[in-house]
Amino acid sequence: MATDAPPPSRAGHELPSTEEFRAVQEGAEFGELRRSHRSFAFPLTVAFIAWYLVYVLLSNYAGGFMGTKLVGNINVALVLGLAQFLTTFLIAWWYSRHAAAKLDPKAAAIKSRMEHDA
């Protein structure tokens, strides 16, 4: 159901129209923002899922290796399991830094321009 009525206002400002949103979405600047996000997030996601699946497969099919004691009662399975948590936090931290440095400034510029033009 398409309508030509202006979008509802927010804090006294008229919101951009659907056509304005589409124009920005199809623009080069938004494409660069999307590319920057995808070029970071997709490879890291694939790598983490592969690392997780390797851990699961080792746990299922390499019990002898995973049960190898390293120090006292600490074995390979425990170390790799804890490494899963460590890599999760490292990836979150790394993404946060990437977003603050590369994504947020581009997104803020697009948002500012859209709010100013509206």
Residues 10 and 114 sit within 8 Å (Cβ to Cβ): no
pTM value > 0.85 = no
Going by C-alpha positions, the residue among 103, 58, 50 that lies closest to residue 79 is: 58
Q: Parse the chain into domains and list their residue ranges.
A: 18-117
SS3 47: helix
Instruction: Give the Cβ contact number of residue 106 at 10 Å.
Output: 16
| pLDDT string in tens for the chain (118-residue length) | 555 555 555 555 677 888 888 988 999 999 999 999 999 999 999 999 999 999 999 999 999 999 999 999 999 999 999 999 999 999 999 999 999 999 999 999 999 888 887 5
* Neighbouring residues of 48: CB distance < 8 A, sequence distance ≥ 6: 87, 88, 91
d(CA 66, CA 81): 10
